């Protein structure tokens, strides 16, 4: 079953990250890299991507005269998606366990960030035999 | 290395022949080098080379020999680099390279190897998804990329999955030999279950690029035919094959142009494959003639009753009801109860079907599952109770994680809603602006 | 360049639409055709629908390694309902695709003009607070 793990933050959160020491950031990344390697090893890894910051985002709402109607304004306090992981796992519990690992990745001073991670199951597009 | 190949154009038949060679070649190489896992990698490499070269250069005169040669060369490379590594690490005198002539190995072929591989790849210690992936590669002769595409994961992920599966097999010390007749009886259900899952998994119709989609159902049928040829007296295998054929025969009718789901009672039966139907019926007769009625035979028998009807109204529902009653005695379960309830409704009336469903309301196994609401919706619709039908269809639509099912259920609800508006107002339902 | 096109929904709005059948069918056909076109043009990397918000779980690292999971989200939270990942020549093309998706027909056949957020996908390392 495929799951997507969504990592969000606010502008304030991102600003906070920039105050970490390089060493803390390296340790954080190292933990995530370890998780990726493990998941590649178990065959559960599908993808992980980071998204560009909201200043590079556009919101599109329909078309007018054949052109997209776009808007780039994001309120300062609004939560936005930083990135995601896509997993293929046997159970929901496994998805939650992996999310827990990622959430426990160390932050400043080695303390786990405890980042809340939203876990969502993909809808299945398969048409089974009937 | 390349014999003067045939100039036959590369087609589906060629592809199938190549795939069929894979387990034969693997059997030979695995036994000779006594290393199933490395042999399986080596054969996969040989398959990839064949898929690349044969369409261009023609099929070699001795295709099996060609594959054995390429695979054993890879094995020799693996063995040599392993020896070199050990030498570097332990500074021992150089070992003798095993002298194995690929030509010799050709006569090593054992027709039972495919069976050995199947039992190995479907070993009960493995998770079903692991067994499916390895079976498709080692026995089915599919490439990693093809299997990855079928399950919509990256190729590297699938490669790792298969690698891990082989490690589990190694760790369990499963010997490379045919299980004893007793072991076979014990382990055949796992094999059949894997084949059934490959068949019924279905495939997503939209994935990445418009690659040639692998038809897992057809692969499952091919593999099951292969098993049947090796164990022709086994009734369960015949039953499974019958079930697959009788189900697969409907494939052209079960999805619409937008990949939407078309249920059995709405399918255009002229699209059903008559040849497959006929073969399925014959296979079922054969399976039943062998005595004990297992679950696959039972499900095949139910499929056969459906498939015999030229039109939905001609379906022998009392027969189906009897079969589900047997099923409930032999192997009860919530899904069986659901299907039984539908049969009851068709024979005795929807109120009776709905009564059967009451027993499931507190069944833990169905908690949160959409099908109970879906079947309720269907029975309320039969009863003419649109209000309840619509409600249950929509509840089911909200619960299912299958997009085609969701689309089907909400469309059904919408249809009922319009129809009931029509009948209550006496006027046609308002046309939507387009 | 890869872009993520995100379709969000408020929890209150999320659920199976109850439009007339013709409108449902028009919507399904529209999305089906859009995805097919994108597949044929080679621009579609993935298109996924997510299960409804009632199945969403928020996971945080637990004390002893076991994740803490709950389904409680703020009332005003926007949930990801589905997304596309497209690989396109230019941002304008990404916005055009988003506009198409946004204009999918709803009740009465009128374009829904859903808000689609378009963000560039970063290549390379796992999501981090950039």
pLDDT in tens, B355-387: 999 989 988 888 778 999 999 999 999 999 999
Q: Looking at residue B423, what is its pLDDT?
A: 77
Cα distance between residue B272 and residue B277, in whole Å: 8
Residue C21 belongs to domain with CATH number: 3.30.70.1060
Question: Cβ B432–C109 below 8 Å, yes or no?
Answer: yes
One CATH from 3.30.70.1060, 3.40.50.300, 3.30.465.10, 2.70.98.40 for A2-121:
3.30.70.1060
**Domain annotation covers residue C6:** yes
Beta strands A67-71 and B203-204: pairing type?
unpaired
Q: Where are the domains of chain B?
A: 12-106, 112-133+143-173+180-201+216-230, 233-315, 335-422
What residues make up the domain containing C113?
2-120
Closest CA to B211 of A123, C4, C42, A128: C42
Q: Looking at residue B7, what is its pLDDT?
A: 59
Structural contact between residues A84 and A4, judged by C-beta atoms closer than 8 angstroms: yes
Closest CA to A79 of A6, A4, A18, A28: A6
Give me the interface pTM, i.e. the ipTM.
0.89
**Domain annotation covers residue C107:** yes
Give CA torsion, residues B11, B15, B21, B25, to 10 deg: 120
One CATH from 1.20.272, 1.10.3930, 2.60.40, 1.25.40 for B335-422:
1.25.40
Tokens of B70: 């390429």
pLDDT tens digits, one per residue of C58-76? 999 988 778 999 988 888 8
**C-beta neighbour count of B266 within 10 angstroms:** 12
Q: Which of B130, B148, B154 to mutate to test the interface with A (most CBs of A within 10 A)?
A: B154
Shortest Cα distance from B361 to chain A (angstroms)? 24
Shortest Cα distance from A1 to chain B (angstroms)? 10
Chains that touch B (3 or more CB pairs under 8 A): A, C
Q: Looking at residue B212, what is its pLDDT?
A: 45
Q: Looking at residue B206, what is its pLDDT?
A: 40
pLDDT tens digits, one per residue of B80-111? 888 888 888 876 666 666 555 655 666 667 77
**C-beta neighbour count of B88 within 10 angstroms:** 8
pLDDT tens digits, one per residue of A56-102? 888 899 888 878 888 876 676 678 899 999 999 999 999 999 999 99
DSSP bridge partners of A70: A60
Shortest Cα distance from C108 to chain A (angstroms)? 16
Chain B to chain C Cβ contacts (< 8 Å): 70
For residue B199, what are the contacts with CB-CB under 8 A and spacing of at least 6? A129, B216, B217, B220, B221, B224, B244, B247, B248
Q: Which residue of C has its CA nearest to A47?
A: C126
* Domain total in chain C: 1
DSSP bridge partners of A61: C115
Which stretches in chain B have pLDDT values below 50? Answer: 1-4, 205-212, 432-434
Q: Looking at residue B104, what is its pLDDT?
A: 64
Q: Which residue of C has its CA nearest to B407?
A: C28
**Domain annotation covers residue C127:** no
Cα distance between residue B222 and residue B238, in whole Å: 13
Of B152, B160, B247, the CB nearest to A40: B160
């Amino acid at each position: 079953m495929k799951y997507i793990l969504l990592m969000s933050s606010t502008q304030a959160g991102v600003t906070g990250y920039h105050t970490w020491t390089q060493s803390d950031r390296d340790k954080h990344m190292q933990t995530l890299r370890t998780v990726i390697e493990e998941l590649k090893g178990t065959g559960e890894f599908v993808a992980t991507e980071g998204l560009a910051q909201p200043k590079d985002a556009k919101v599109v709402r329909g078309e007018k005269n054949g052109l997209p109607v776009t808007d780039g304004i994001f309120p300062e306090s609004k939560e936005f998606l930083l990135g995601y992981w896509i997993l293929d796992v046997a159970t929901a519990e496994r998805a939650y366990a992996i999310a827990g690992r990622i959430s426990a990745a160390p932050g400043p001073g080695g303390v786990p960030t405890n980042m809340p991670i939203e876990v969502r199951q993909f809808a299945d597009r398969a048409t089974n035999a009937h | 290395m390349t014999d003067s190949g045939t100039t036959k154009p590369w087609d589906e038949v060629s592809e199938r022949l190549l795939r069929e060679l894979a387990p034969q070649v693997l059997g030979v190489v695995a036994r000779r080098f006594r290393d199933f896992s490395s042999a399986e990698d080596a054969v996969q490499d040989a398959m990839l080379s064949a898929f690349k070269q044969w369409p261009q250069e023609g099929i070699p005169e001795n295709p099996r020999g060609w594959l054995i040669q390429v695979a054993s060369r890879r094995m020799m490379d693996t063995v040599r680099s392993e020896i070199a590594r050990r030498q570097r690490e332990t500074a021992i005198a150089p070992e003798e390279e095993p002298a194995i002539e690929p030509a010799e190995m050709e006569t090593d072929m054992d027709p039972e190897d495919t069976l050995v591989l199947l039992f190995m790849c479907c070993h009960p210690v493995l998770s079903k998804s692991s067994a499916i992936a390895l079976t498709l590669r080692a026995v089915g002769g599919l490439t990693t990329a093809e299997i990855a595409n079928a399950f919509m994961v990256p190729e590297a992920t699938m490669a790792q999955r298969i690698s891990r599966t082989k490690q589990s097999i190694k760790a369990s010390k499963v010997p490379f030999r045919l299980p004893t007749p007793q072991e076979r009886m014990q382990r055949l259900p796992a094999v059949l279950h894997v084949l059934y899952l490959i068949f019924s998994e279905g495939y997503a119709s939209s994935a990445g690029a418009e690659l040639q989609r692998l038809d897992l159902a057809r692969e499952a049928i091919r593999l099951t035919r292969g098993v049947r040829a090796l164990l022709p007296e086994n009734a369960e295998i015949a039953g499974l094959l019958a079930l697959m054929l009788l189900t697969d025969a409907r494939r052209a009718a079960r999805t619409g142009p937008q990949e939407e789901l078309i249920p059995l009672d709405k399918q255009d039966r002229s699209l059903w494959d008559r040849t497959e139907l006929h073969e399925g019926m014959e296979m079922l007769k054969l399976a039943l003639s062998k005595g004990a009625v297992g679950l696959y035979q039972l499900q095949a028998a139910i499929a056969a009753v459906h498939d015999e009807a030229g039109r939905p109204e001609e379906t022998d529902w009392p027969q189906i009801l009897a079969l589900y009653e047997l099923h409930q005695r032999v192997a009860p379960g919530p899904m069986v109860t659901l299907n039984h309830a539908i049969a009851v409704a068709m024979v005795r009336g929807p109120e009776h079907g709905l009564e059967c469903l009451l027993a499931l309301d507190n069944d833990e196994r169905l908690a949160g599952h959409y099908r109970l609401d879906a079947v309720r919706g269907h029975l309320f619709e039969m009863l003419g109770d649109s209000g309840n039908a619509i409600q249950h269809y929509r509840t089911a639509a909200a619960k299912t994680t299958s997009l085609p099912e969701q689309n089907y259920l909400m469309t059904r609800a919408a249809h009922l809603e319009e129809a009931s508006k029509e009948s209550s107002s006496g006027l046609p339902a308002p046309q939507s602006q387009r | 360049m890869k872009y993520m096109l995100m379709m969000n929904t408020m929890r209150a709005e999320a659920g199976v639409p109850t439009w007339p059948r013709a409108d449902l069918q028009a919507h399904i056909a529209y999305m089906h055709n859009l995805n097919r076109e994108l597949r044929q043009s080679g621009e579609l990397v993935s298109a996924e629908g997510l299960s409804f918000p009632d199945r969403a779980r928020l996971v945080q690292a637990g004390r002893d390694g076991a994740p803490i999971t709950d389904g409680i989200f703020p009332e005003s939270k926007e949930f990801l309902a589905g997304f596309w990942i497209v690989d396109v020549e230019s941002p304008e093309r990404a916005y055009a695709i988003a506009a198409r998706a946004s204009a999918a027909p709803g009740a009465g056949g009128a374009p829904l003009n859903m808000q689609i957020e378009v963000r560039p996908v970063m290549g390379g390392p796992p999501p981090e607070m950039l």
